[in-house]
Amino acid sequence: MIDKVYCADVRPDMEGKRVKLAGWVYRKREVGKKVFIVLRDSSGIVQTIFKKELSEKAYAEAKKVGIESSIIVEGTVKADPRAPTGVEIQADKIEVVQNVDFFPITKDASDEFLLDVRHLHLHSPKVASIMKVKATMMQAAREWLLQDGWYEVFPPILVTGAVEGGATLFKLKYFDRTAYLSQSAQLYLEAAIFGLEKVWSLTPSFRAEKSRTRRHLTEFWHLELEGAWMDLWDIMKVEEELVSYMVQRTLELRKSDIETFRKDFTTLKNTVPPFPRISYDEAIDILQGKGVNIEWGEDMGADEERILTQEFESPFFVYGYPKHIKAFYMKEDPDDPRKVLAADMLAPEGYGEVIGGSQREDDYDKLVQRILDEGMDPKDYEWYLDLRKYGSVPHSGFGLGLERLVAWVLKLDHVRWATLFPRTPSRLYP
């Protein structure tokens, strides 16, 4: 590792200190016999200046480098309020690791082109900020999960059945059998609660969704929890405490990165428990009251959720959905057999669903009936049904779409920008 300092570590109070930095040419301009290079590394930027009278050799080298060339620079720190970070390096040495004559990404690059060259788009400090926020959100999640006694487990990705409907399964050949890419780790987490009680996993989940919306990927990172002895209201409390901690901790550690994307932090600051809770019935009333053409029993799509979020200035829950629009594993509401004990968490500002959760059907016969009602074959779920035969317990869980949460926190216009290499129906490369 080169013995260097980071751009963000160079401060005006280091005036006169000699430093070495390594990074990429972010901006470059020439004024008279001076070359100004704004150097970029993972921490940020710092201005370097190459003067002919200071080092003719370094000046000549600096004149030749192109944008995004990789370089190593040495020089003396000088405080200068005109420089982007209030300080600059009076450079007298430069090693050009690799010169770039023409970097393909220019200011007017379209979204589609940026996705075509996503492997080069990752040079961008804005993209780096998104990835830092995403990493910090997961760091915060891990912190909270550890202190609240949840065990991380590592479920399989190659599976034999659907969790969220067969229509969005990716099928693959598994030797002489058929396998699918996991849509959700849920069923395996439900098995894990009999030994660990409170479990979580972060896995890629796969959905062969043809919907080309701003909130759907075909591969996304899925943070899922499952808790034994918990009912719907218990798990909703877990959800709001976890999400609140993730948002507040990320605000604390990544404020400047978030400021790159949003100026108004109101909804983030409002993300503290308890979150507002409305029933599905109330949600339908609100939407109808706003002139939305929706009847009781219909699912709410992205448009309806966007309108609903206008009523709230923080994440909120919608609970008590009709049974026929929800998954087979959800427990019927004992007070209303038309409904299930399910709750979604919706993010404000138009983002909608970020979490899907429910209490699970823990009765063997009822679960078999739900599987049959959904036109599925109980034989395909034999192992899963066993969980209701050998010490079954009330339990609940949920899945949080990490990219969707990041997209809301940073107000991104599409969930694809929240993932390193987005996978959508039209994107499998790079």
**Which of these segments, 79-87, 216-224, 261-269, 330-338, binds ligand NSS (CB under 6 A)?**
216-224
* Pairing between β-strand 34-41 and β-strand 352-359 as defined by DSSP bridges: unpaired
* Pairing between β-strand 87-98 and β-strand 44-51 as defined by DSSP bridges: parallel
Region of residue 180 (phi > 0: left; psi between -120 and 50: alpha; otherwise: beta): beta
Minimum distance, C-beta of residue 384 to ligand NSS, in the bound complex (Å): 12
Alpha helices in 91-163 (DSSP H): 111-116, 118-121, 125-147
Residue 356 is a binding residue for Mg ion (CB under 5 A): yes
Count of residues touching ligand NSS (by CB under 6 A)? 23
The residues, ordered by sequence, that sit 6+ positions from 363 with a Cβ below 8 Å of its Cβ are 388, 392
Q: Count CB neighbours of 119 within 10 A.
A: 11
Q: Which is nearer to Mg ion, 50 or 321 (CB)?
A: 321
Q: Which is nearer to ligand NSS, 198 or 222 (CB)?
A: 222
Cis-peptide into 125, omega within 30 deg: no
Minimum distance, C-beta of residue 417 to ligand NSS, in the bound complex (Å): 13
Q: Binding residue for ligand NSS (CB under 6 A) from 159, 401, 408, 416? A: 401
Residue 71 is a binding residue for ligand NSS (CB under 6 A): no
Q: Which does 209 bind (CB under 5 to 8 A by kind): ligand NSS, Mg ion, none?
A: ligand NSS
By three-state DSSP, how is residue 304 classified? helix
Token pair for residue 222?
């899925």
- Nearest residue to 403 via CA among 23, 134, 128, 17: 134
Q: Count CB neighbours of 146 within 10 A.
A: 11
Q: Which does 232 bind (CB under 5 to 8 A by kind): ligand NSS, Mg ion, none?
A: none
Residue 8 near residue 44 (C-beta atoms within 8 A): yes
Q: Which is nearer to ligand NSS, 121 or 404 (CB)?
A: 404
Please state the separation of Cα 132 from the chain's center in Å: 11
Q: Is the dihedral of CA 298, 304, 305, 308 positive or negative?
A: negative
Please state the separation of Cα 372 from the chain's center in Å: 35
Q: Which does 227 bind (CB under 5 to 8 A by kind): Mg ion, ligand NSS, none?
A: none
Minimum distance, C-beta of residue 185 to ligand NSS, in the bound complex (Å): 7
Residue 35 near residue 99 (C-beta atoms within 8 A): no
Minimum distance, C-beta of residue 263 to ligand NSS, in the bound complex (Å): 25
For residue 418, the 8-state DSSP code is G
**Footprint of ligand NSS on 328-367 (CB under 6 A):** 353-357
**Footprint of ligand NSS on 128-187 (CB under 6 A):** 163-164, 184, 186
Q: Binding residue for ligand NSS (CB under 6 A) from 41, 68, 88, 224? A: 224
Q: Which is nearer to ligand NSS, 75 or 397 (CB)?
A: 397
Q: Which is nearer to ligand NSS, 121 or 395 (CB)?
A: 395
**Which of these segments, 13-21, 221-229, 348-356, 390-398, binds Mg ion (CB under 5 A)?**
348-356
d(CA 308, CA 88): 50
**Which of these segments, 240-248, 261-269, 353-361, 367-375, binds Mg ion (CB under 5 A)?**
353-361
Residue 222 is a binding residue for ligand NSS (CB under 6 A): yes
Q: Which is nearer to ligand NSS, 109 or 157 (CB)?
A: 157
- Phi then psi dihedrals of residue 161, to 5 deg: -150, 170
d(CA 54, CA 58): 8
For ligand NSS, the binding residues (CB under 6 A) are 163-164, 184, 186, 207, 209, 216-217, 220, 222, 224, 353-357, 397-399, 401, 403-404, 415
For Mg ion, the binding residues (CB under 5 A) are 356
